[in-house]
Amino acid sequence: MIAVMESAVRASVIGIGATVILDLWITVGSRLFGISGPDWAMVGRWVGHMASGRFVHANIDRASPINGELALGWMVHYVTGIVYGLILVTIWGGEWLRQPTILPPMLLLWMFLVAPYFVMMPGMGEGIAASRTPHPNLERLKSVVGHSVFGFGMYLVAISIRNINA
């Protein structure tokens, strides 16, 4: 039982750490290249409307605001990171925690591109794989790069945890 709890804590730390790395990447990208990152308030608005049974919007920007939507969006962002960490460790197990390799988190995050492309983007009114946005290929690329940075971040955090505990 203790080993399971320890793995869950490590998986959660990996998810949180990778989310921080992704946020740093987004900040650098927006400042250096003028590429906007996600609007976490709109994510919070989208999730907030789910409580009333509304999962799909024509345009999330035009949906009525939700109290605390920015905080909710950030919370969803970090909880998603934790869940991805837990899924990674559940699939690849304690052996991956002891000897992290880059391929498992990268594969996992590339597979999870289905979430933004087929759930989040359509739900927020952007169409499947951002097809209804002004620059769909840019939005798709941003998702691939973001998921790749997150996957690489999971690997870096796992290596760091392993080295601290060595």
Arithmetic mean of pLDDT over the chain: 95
Q: What is the pLDDT of residue 166?
A: 63
Tens-binned pLDDT, residue by residue, of the chain (166 aa): 778 899 999 999 999 999 999 999 999 988 888 888 899 999 999 999 999 999 999 999 999 999 999 999 999 999 999 999 999 999 998 899 999 999 999 999 999 999 999 999 999 999 999 999 999 999 999 999 999 999 999 999 999 998 987 6
pTM score of the predicted model: 0.93
Q: pLDDT tens-digit profile of 107-133?
A: 999 999 999 999 999 999 999 999 999
Q: Phi, psi at residue 55, to the nearest 5°? A: -110, -20
> For residue 140, what are its two tokens?
């798709």
Q: Where are the domains of the chain?
A: 2-164
Interatomic CA distance for residues 22 and 28, integer angstroms: 10
Residues 6+ apart with CB under 8 A from 115: none
Nearest to 23 by CA among 81, 103, 105, 72: 81
> For residue 85, what are its two tokens?
């960490």
Q: What is the pLDDT of residue 133?
A: 96
Q: pLDDT tens-digit profile of 29-39?
A: 888 888 888 99
Q: How many CB atoms lie within 10 A of CB 20?
A: 14
16 touches 80 (CB < 8 A)? no
Query: In Å, what is the CA distance from 60 to each residue of 19, 130, 135, 137?
Result: 24, 13, 17, 20
66 touches 54 (CB < 8 A)? no
Q: How many helices (H) and strands (E) does the chain have?
A: 7, 0
